[in-house]
Amino acid sequence: MVGLGFTALLRLAWLAATVPILVVSLPIRPVGFLHRMITGFAARGKTMIMNSSTQKFTVPQRYFLHFYWWALALTTSLALSTWFYAYRKLVPLASESLSYSTVASHLTGGSHIFSSHKVPSTPMEHKYQVWRTVFVLLLMEVQVFRRLYETLNVFHYSPSARMHFLGYLTGLLFYTGAPLSLGISCASEALSYARDQIAEFIVKGRDRMPDLQIDWLELLKPLLLLGWCQWIGAIIFLWGWLHQLRCHAILGSLRENKGADEYVIPYGDWFRYVSCPHYLAEIIIYFGILVASGGSDITIWLLFMFVVSNLTFAAAETHRWYHHKFENYPKTRRAIIPFVY
């Protein structure tokens, strides 16, 4: 069973990745060396120019493509196996959604949001937990598919654009840990069911297996019957998703000559307020996923904390680069939080 051991390992990994970033963000002298080291590892593209001492162990920035191919494969596998398990074993779902969402029950004291391994108390709650997992994995699927498309068709990486090899490994680990964190609550039973079905197919053969008939209404209906919390999360997700789509289109359009190394100041959409609106949008995207998950799993909270700390740190470095590069850079822009930071 995937259970406590693997879940605890994921949580420890998110903590281990988040804490150093939070520490180096503190304005105290003892963390100066650690700050320079993490800045060097995290540098990529234009910010790599300001960290020339770390350029020995680098890979092309276009290797971002590897993140999204891998994330798409992993998320698709988890989503389909969980969806298949839910469809075959956990339908029909009640016509009415749970009266109170998971988040609401936490706010009223019905359960503990930081419980180490919350087990659904009723079969109906278990059904909703599995279908919620399908829902958030589908949101993640939409996100990584768009990022893959943008890497292939929107961004035109300069031949000289590089990123540190450790940063590359961190990206691969993130896009492994993120889908696993979203699916961990029921991955064990879903994968076990898929394994049993495959074993049965091997033993019996195709002719002795019952025909797989899919009722498309029953396949989609449980997702439509989830609570308001999931749909609010989806709306938040879509809001961030659309703005990130727009901001990435703006960034991609800045380098019409794909071989050029020249940088210009971006304008439009949330660039009016911050230097890194695409990072702000990504934080909103993962906050939407967190809300849609019900907020009951600390693993997803730790995933969100890592996204916030990592992107805030990266935005501060990018903001510093813009001010260093352009004397006429808009002074009213903040790094990532409008009017604040």
pLDDT score, position 2? 47
pLDDT at 73 over 60: yes
pLDDT score, position 104? 47
- How would DSSP label each residue in 219-265? HHHHHHTS-HHHHHHHHHHHHHHHHHHHHHHHHHHT-SSTT------
| Higher per-residue confidence, 72 vs 162 | 72
Residue type, 226: L
In the chain, the percentage of residues whose pLDDT exceeds 70 is 73
The residues that bridge with 162 in the sheet, in sequence order, are: 60
Residue 103 — very low, low, confident or very high, per pLDDT cuts 50/70/90?
Answer: very low
Other CB atoms within a 10 A radius of the CB of residue 238 amount to 15
User: What's the pLDDT tens digit per position in 312-335?
Assistant: 988 998 999 999 999 999 999 999
Note whether 102 and 295 are within 8 A (CB): yes
pLDDT mean across residues, the chain = 80
User: What's the pLDDT tens digit per position in 17-39?
Assistant: 887 776 655 555 445 555 555 55
Over residues 182-193, the mean pLDDT reads 82
pLDDT score, position 206? 63
pLDDT score, position 3? 54
Closest CA to 164 of 257, 272, 50, 249: 50
| Higher per-residue confidence, 45 vs 141 | 141
pLDDT score, position 128? 86
Over residues 149-166, the mean pLDDT reads 85
pLDDT at 295 over 60: yes
Calculate ∠ Cα 319-341-295, nearest 5°: 110
pLDDT score, position 4? 60
Interatomic CA distance for residues 215 and 87, integer angstroms: 9
pTM of the model: 0.84
Residue 74 — very low, low, confident or very high, per pLDDT cuts 50/70/90?
Answer: very high
Residue 272 — very low, low, confident or very high, per pLDDT cuts 50/70/90?
Answer: very high
